[in-house]
Amino acid sequence: MRVIGTAGHVDHGKSTLVEKLSGINPDRLIEEQSRKMTIDLGFAWLDLPSGETVGIVDVPGHRDFIENMLAGVGGIDAALLVIAADEGIMPQTREHLAILQLLDIQDIIVVISKIDLIDDPEWLDLVKLEIAELLAETQLGELPLVALSAHTGAGIGELLAALQNALARLPLRVNYYQPRLPIDRVFTVSGFGAVVTGTLSGGTLSLGDNVELQPTGRAGRVRGLQSYRRDVETAAPGSRVAVNVAGINSGDIQRGDMLTYPGQLQPTLLADAHFRQLGDIDRPLKHNAEVKFFCGASESIANVRLLDADALAPGKHGWLQIRLRNPQPVSRGDRFILRYPSPAETIGGGLIVNAHPGRRLKRFQPGIIDELELQLRGSPAERLALAAKGDAPQKLTDLQKKLGYSDSDLRSALDEALSAGLIQEIDKRYWATDSWAALCQNVITELSIYHQANPLRLGMLRPELQSRVNVKLSLLDSVIAADARLVLESKFVRLRDHAIRFSNDQEAKAAQVMRALDAQPYSPPSIAELNDQAGEDVLRALRDLRKIVHVNERIAFAADSYDQLVSAIRAHIRDFGEIDAKTLRDKFGTSRKYAIPVLEHLDSLGITQRVGDSRKRGRNF
């Protein structure tokens, strides 16, 4: 389904034309009908000769109501630019055409209305020439032009054919399974509650769907659906929709709010955008200027931070970071318009490239501008890789929400990004290769610093390294497993080329420790005594190398002696079902001073389990 908009001057006969096409008077307000002037948005629909139903949004033409006009044109596929034959082009005509261009609405049909009021054919030729000169100033090229009279019906058939041809050229609206309904009207129906209307995009809405109102976050449910006053069970993207929302009062809804699936959209106060200023503006756009921001059906006061200039001259384009006064439900790819609040004037418009930058960007940074350019003009795979940057890998569904890709587009971009090495798959999540490489290098750097400061340590304990690089332990383990420069040895992480290297003096002290332990293998000297002999650094190195094993803070055994103790304990439990300290003492000719700490140590490892005064099989036996 498609939606078209009618734009033009207040006296150019837009509403009369809409009523002629559809049989519906779009001027629903009493004041509009009495003044014969469109003040707010009007809505209608018509059936084309092909049978396709087309929605119509009739927007105000008067300059005083431009901001009402902006609330209605964001979701249209094509536009009728209506110019009265007896008046020709007006200032509002130029502004409406400029806004359509800024919103990237390319399919525009120029309608010369009221030809029944013109008796002189040369006058009509002059109007057509004036239109040609106006279009020559744009990048639209030659547009379809239809001259007609809504009163006599002359040219109506030609207009319907031109409209059908224009819409046939447009691609179908894609279902991204992420419905968004910018609300342009809200009212209450007695017995039913709140009803909202808008042009649906991004996905379908169905009866019973749970929905969320943004930016307030209020939860509701689709109680009823209508499209063109027909009850439907599912509304398709691209159609005008009226939604009866259960669970939300109409007083809590306002024009500009967005109806979405729960958790799909987060409002923002900061957005990165590419902006083009109109060429006929009298003043440059200055850094930090206060503006009015219009996107979809929403508006907010904002300040614009110019990222690559101090001021933007008329007709120029550049990069902005928009700081919104109130949170707005905008997404990447949304088109927007900026206006000065006073005196009211349309400045220009552009495209949101990042709706959630999360930080104030530094100005005049070529690297930042390059990244923004890539977000704007990069391939789908490149944009996917940019979205996958951050502190941690992301779910594919979250990346899809950021980018608005369809399932097929997402799969294609993912395959290309993986093949080109732009992203990495980590535990069924995806991360930009640049971010992955930065983490790997951070791990390498931290270990290099640690090795230099602690040459007699085998490596850094995993939890300590995790704390230093500030990632989840599972992600750190993925880095350790994937990076050939890293080794996990026991519970230590080290660089592959790192090894404990004793000096001659330290080597002699280490040998002295091992001789002392071998001399009394099951009644060894205390750790304090060994420290006095060799020093804490040497003893800790021997422990890291597993030359010795600490069973508590006072007692250590040579690794071979410890292993013999453990093997004998396991064997005895297998044969007899249990072992106690006395049996262990007698078996190895030691004392309770050593036997009990060994058994307590094995309890802590789960190898044994204390039952009364004996030890039986533990969970890790």
Question: What does the DSSP 8-state code read for residue 595?
Answer: H
pTM of the predicted structure, to 2 decimals: 0.74
CB 41, CB 72: distance < 8 Å? yes
Tell me the angle at which helices 91-102 and 121-136 cross, rounded to the nearest 10 degrees.
40
Q: What is the pLDDT of residue 291?
A: 97
Q: What is the pLDDT of residue 300?
A: 96
Cα 559 to chain centroid, rounded: 54
Residue type, 247: G
Residue type, 541: A
Q: What is the pLDDT of residue 65?
A: 56
Q: Give the per-residue SS3 of 398-448.
A: HHHHHHCCCHHHHHHHHHHHHHCCCEEEECCEEEEHHHHHHHHHHHHHHHH
312-332 pLDDT, tens digit each? 999 999 999 999 999 999 998
Rounded to an integer, the average pLDDT of 155-182 is 89
Which residues share a beta bridge with 615?
Answer: 579, 610
Per the structure block, which two tokens stand in for 44? 């209608």
Number of neighbours of residue 111 by Cβ within 10 angstroms: 28
Which residues, including other chains, have CB under 8 Å from residue 331's CB and lie 6 or more apart? 180, 265, 352, 355, 404
Domains of the chain are 2-168 (3.40.50.300), 180-260 (2.40.30.10), 273-364 (2.40.30.10), 378-499 (1.10.10.10), 504-617 (1.10.10.10)
CB 199, CB 182: distance < 8 Å? yes
Confidence of residue 63 (pLDDT cuts 50, 70, 90): low
Which residues, including other chains, have CB under 8 Å from residue 77's CB and lie 6 or more apart? 2, 3, 4, 105, 107, 167, 170, 238
277-323 pLDDT, tens digit each? 999 888 999 999 999 999 999 999 999 999 999 999 999 999 999 99
Q: What is the pLDDT of residue 27?
A: 64
CB 184, CB 70: distance < 8 Å? no
Q: What is the pLDDT of residue 144?
A: 95
Mean pLDDT of the chain: 90
For 535-561, b where at least 16 C-beta lie within 10 A, e where not — what string?
bebbbbbbbbbebbbbbeeebbbbbeb
Q: Examine the pLDDT at 59 and tell me if it is beyond 90.
A: no
Q: How far is CA 407 from CA 4, 42, 369, 431, in A?
A: 27, 35, 29, 19
Rounded to an integer, the average pLDDT of 373-402 is 90
391-431 pLDDT, tens digit each? 899 999 889 877 878 788 899 999 999 999 999 999 899 99
Which residues, including other chains, have CB under 8 Å from residue 580's CB and lie 6 or more apart? 613, 614, 615
Rounded to an integer, the average pLDDT of 202-219 is 95
Per the structure block, which two tokens stand in for 436? 């992955």
Q: What is the pLDDT of residue 13?
A: 73
Q: Examine the pLDDT at 9 and tell me if it is beyond 70.
A: no
Per the structure block, which two tokens stand in for 558? 């040579």
The whole-angstrom separation of Cα 303 and Cα 432 is 31
Q: Examine the pLDDT at 34 and tell me if it is beyond 90.
A: no
The whole-angstrom separation of Cα 146 and Cα 148 is 6
Radius of gyration from C-alpha coordinates of the chain: 37
Beta strands in 296-372 (DSSP E): 298-306, 311-312, 317-328, 335-340, 345-354
- Helix/strand/coil for 566: helix
Q: Examine the pLDDT at 366 and tell me if it is beyond 90.
A: yes
Question: What does the DSSP 8-state code read for residue 579?
Answer: E
77-119 pLDDT, tens digit each? 999 999 999 989 988 888 899 999 999 998 999 999 999 999 8
Q: Examine the pLDDT at 486 and tell me if it is beyond 50.
A: yes
Number of neighbours of residue 315 by Cβ within 10 angstroms: 12
Q: What is the pLDDT of residue 416?
A: 96
Per the structure block, which two tokens stand in for 66? 């431009």
Q: What is the DSSP string of 240-262?
A: EEEEEEESS-GGG--TT-EEE-T
- Helix/strand/coil for 564: helix
Of 134, 112, 133, give the one whose Cα is nearest residue 123.
112
The whole-angstrom separation of Cα 171 and Cα 409 is 15
- Helix/strand/coil for 368: helix
% of the chain at pLDDT higher than 90: 72
Beta strand 42-47 with 53-58 is antiparallel
Q: Please, how many CA atoms are within 13 Å of residue 534, restricted to the half-sphere of its CB?
A: 28
The whole-angstrom separation of Cα 352 and Cα 376 is 9
- End-to-end CA distance of the chain, in Å? 69
Q: What is the pLDDT of residue 58?
A: 85
- Helix/strand/coil for 179: coil
% of the chain at pLDDT higher than 70: 96
Rounded to an integer, the average pLDDT of 598-605 is 94
Confidence of residue 37 (pLDDT cuts 50, 70, 90): very low
The whole-angstrom separation of Cα 221 and Cα 491 is 52
CB 541, CB 502: distance < 8 Å? yes
Confidence of residue 30 (pLDDT cuts 50, 70, 90): very low
Rounded to an integer, the average pLDDT of 519-525 is 94
The whole-angstrom separation of Cα 146 and Cα 113 is 8
Q: How far is CA 599 from CA 519, 545, 615, 618, in A?
A: 22, 23, 8, 11
